[in-house]
Amino acid sequence: MSTNGAAKYPGVTPPIAVTESTPKEKELTASLLDELRRQGMVESENEAKTRTIVLERIAALVKKFVRTVSLARGLPEAAANAAGGKIFTFGSYRLGVHGPGSDIDTLCVVPKHVSREDFFDVFEHMLNDTEGVTDVSGVPDAYVPIIKMKILGIPIDLVMARLALSTIPDDLSLQDDNLLRNLDERCVRSLNGSRVTDEILRLVPNDSVFRDALRCIKLWAQRRAIYSNVNGFLGGVAWAMLVARICQFYPKAVAGAIVSRFFIIMYQWNWPTPVLLKPIEDGPLSVRVWNPKLYPSDRAHRMPIITPAYPAMCATHNVTQSTQMIMTGEFKKAADIVDRVVVGKANWSELFAKHDFFHRYRYYLQIIASTGSPELQIKWAGTVESRIRQLVIKLEYVESLELAHPFIKGFEQVSYCMNDEEVRAVAQGDISEAVAKRKKEDIEGKEGASAVYSTTFYIGLAVEPKQPGSIGPRRLDISYPTTEFTKLVKMWEKFDEQKMGIVVRHIKSAALPDYVFEEGERQPRPVLKRPKKESTDRSSNMSPDMPNKKPRHMLPETTPHTHSHEHFKENGNTLPHVNIATTVDRPPSTAGLYTSNVKDPAEIKSPQLSRGENVTLANAAPGAR
């Protein structure tokens, strides 16, 4: 590479290669794009028009919201009308890689006299009262405070930033760093989404190649269940920055070549060396910039992917030891598949095979959040989900537990119950066949009947193998992590013991409910041996602080207390919360645990990444520190 290459191409290091793609790579790209079309990654013209209508509606609602608050603050009507308010899109929609049914990340910018409290009080109520707007859920205490909703069926994630301006003009641009003056960190984080997206597009050598490659990586990550920032994996902006970095390494490559290099480079990346699209910039503002030398919390980031807009932030602070191991294993699997695609021994469709999360582990944790109200359930379930990462981190410290693997979404159910006993059972995760078949009309007019809204999240548990020569029973005690987790979610300021339930319990894979599988996906359940002594006391499914006697009749919203005291034993002893015998065995090799099934790195081969490129990469990546 010539000495002027760094000036010619974007990135913190010169490109690895600037040669044009080969005919074979162009052929692979054409077949990849055909496969993406077959996979339904391109939305219809009608949906595209609906998105435009939705954004116009949000823009009008934001102006109405700002005007309403302005008048309430005592501003004259003329000043209230001129106060403005504007929306910006970011994320996959702004990048041009959104697919059918995907959400639109949207930023609402308001003047200085409109507060965040107004956003979650006034604006959230306005949304609830607007025709065509459903599933409105505000999460004000999130890392980036957000209101989630659907408008005309299109999911919207709306964040807010209050600028130190009296009015927000329609031609406002967010490129000026001085707009960040006098803002709190939450507003800076909210603005960062839009600023980062625009900067990513500016820093890629070829927009079209970047978009095609990112569509592929995004679909792959979704199918492999590793596309979720809240659960400790990577979110959309992080995946976009990774793809952008590979595009910088190979500025003249086509999308198929970018994808073929993506997996091998990411598998071999020397974490925690950060991924940077440009040098980190200091600025005159009193805002925090990512700096592991200065901040211990930044130094703790396991897979730092740093946003290119000032102030630089880590987009992957949620990654845990377990989720990093899982993603590394997926990079390896994908590298093997693409290697076979390149030599004609596999098709691109194999890259997008569905995950095997519910076949992979022998033991799982169920986290069940429940209420008696659909509106309350959206908020409660969102609050619980936002804290599951903390449970994963605590589980990682448990002796004999190799991995705690969170699934990326919860499963929602509505159960129609005839009495308190059924309500209690449903909230504990025990849904009888009768309740499962019951419909809303079956309980209408019935005294004591009510609906229970529940969302169930799952964490797969990988247990270490029993060491050779060890004798006696082993015990996996996860009572502390689960108890601390339930305490954490109950610290939510809007938590109401009488209206919200939170239950944590373990189950074996054979006991997973049918709803986690697609039709025909579930394997036949194994015949379970009966233990010599089997507890019949169903109250053992409760933690010590739960009442053993039947509770008094409660309101329909009432759900049971927490259950979190969990122990695994082996040698046939009955588990306290599962009335079946079990032993703590290592899952079979076909379970695909990343700690045992990843082959030696020397076995990875990629015809599209030559030895010379590997040497260049080895020199380039550390330079990004």
Residue 448 backbone dihedrals phi, psi, to 5 degrees: 80, -5
Binding-site residue set: 90-92, 103-105, 157, 218, 227, 236-237
Residue 597, C-beta contacts closer than 8 angstroms, at least 6 positions apart: 329, 589
Residue 514 annotated to the active site: no
Cis omega (within 30 of 0) on the bond before 272?
Answer: yes
What's the CA angle centered on 373, arms 370 and 375, to 5 degrees? 105
Tokens linked to 57 = 């509606």
Structure tokens at 65: 């919201």
Annotation says 141 is catalytic: no
Is residue 366 a contact partner of residue 562, using CB atoms and an 8 Å limit? no
What does each C-alpha distance from 223 to 237, 246, 352, 355, 459 come to in angstroms?
Answer: 17, 21, 6, 6, 17
Active-site position among 63, 86, 148, 218: 218
> Which residue in 290, 269, 271, 200 sits closest to 238, CA to CA?
200
The one catalytic residue in 157, 177, 356, 477 is: 157
Our answer to whether residue 453 is catalytic in this structure is no
295 is catalytic: no
Q: Provide the β-strand partners of residue 453.
A: 371, 414
Q: Is the dihedral of CA 380, 224, 402, 335 positive or negative?
A: negative
Distance CA 547, CA 524 (A): 37
Helix (H) or strand (E) holding 567: strand 567-569
Annotated binding site for Mg(2+): 103, 105, 157
Q: If residue 475 lies in a helix (H) or strand (E), which one and from where to where?
A: strand 475-477
Burial class (CB in 10 A: 0-12, 13-18, 19+), 546: middle
Pairwise CA distance, residues 35 & 40, whole Å: 9
Of 527, 340, 518, 505, nearest to 425 by C-alpha is: 505
Q: Which residue in 21, 63, 70, 92 is the catalytic one?
A: 92
Q: Which of 105, 198, 298, 420 is catalytic?
A: 105
Q: Are 576 and 567 in contact (CB under 8 A)?
A: yes
CA pair distance 403, 519, nearest whole angstrom: 28
Encoded tokens for 54: 């939705």
CA 521 to chain centre: 24
Residue identified by tokens 């028009």 is: 49
Catalytic residue among 21, 103, 267, 569: 103
Question: Given the structure tokens 């600025």, which residue do they identify?
Answer: 283
Q: Give catalytic status of residue 92 as yes or no.
A: yes
Tokens of 529: 């041996």
Asked about 397 being catalytic, the answer comes back as no
Closest CA to 365 of 316, 333, 398: 398
Residues in the chain: 625
Q: Which residues, 6+ apart, have CB-to-CB distance to 193 below 8 Å? A: 90, 91, 105, 107, 144, 159, 237
3-class secondary structure, 124: helix
SS percent in the chain: helix, strand, coil, step 5: 40, 15, 45
> Which residues fall in the annotated binding site for ATP?
90-92, 103-105, 157, 218, 227, 236-237
Return d(Cα 436, Cα 415) in angstroms, integer. 7
What are residue 105's DSSP bridge partners?
90, 157
Q: Which two tokens stand for residue 354?
A: 């569905």
- 356-479-593 Cα angle (round to 5): 25
How far is 378 from 392, CA to CA, in rounded Å? 22
Helix axes 374-395, 479-490, angle to 10 degrees: 140
Q: Give yes or no for a contact between 16 and 249, defined as CB atoms under 8 angstroms apart.
A: yes
Q: Which residues are catalytic?
A: 92, 103, 105, 157, 218, 227
